[in-house]
């Protein structure tokens, strides 16, 4: 696959988003009712939107979602 390195990069980026979204969810709960909760919620919304674009890009270049990387990231978080 000519885009093999790009696919690996995108899979790693997607896996990183799994960790970020999980962590932000915990941070929101830890700071309920504060300005930090709202900050973390906005950041989570932005990362979720970026993730949609990333998955679309991965589809266009033929990169698989890489569920193993995402699962390892989630467990590591």
Alpha carbon 22 to its chain centroid, in Å, reads 9
Model pLDDT for residues 53-77, shown as the tens digit of each residue: 999 999 998 888 765 554 554 555 4
**Residue 35 is encoded by which pair of tokens?**
């300005």
Structural contact between residues 13 and 74, judged by C-beta atoms closer than 8 angstroms: no
The 3-state DSSP class for residue 65 equals coil
**The whole model's pTM is what?**
0.75
Rounded CA gap, 50 and 42, in Å? 12
CB 28 within 8 A of CB 40: yes
| pLDDT tens figures, 3-21 | 788 988 999 999 999 999 9
**Higher-confidence residue: 43 or 75?**
43
Nearest CA-CA partner of 4 in 58, 54, 51: 58
């Amino acid at each position: 696959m000519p885009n093999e390195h790009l696919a690996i990069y995108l899979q790693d980026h997607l896996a990183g988003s799994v960790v970020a979204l999980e962590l932000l969810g915990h941070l929101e709960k830890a700071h309920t009712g504060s300005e930090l909760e709202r900050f973390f919620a906005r950041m989570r919304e932005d990362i979720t939107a970026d993730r949609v674009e990333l998955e679309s890009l991965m589809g266009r270049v033929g990169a698989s979602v890489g569920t193993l990387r995402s699962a390892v990231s989630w467990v590591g978080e």
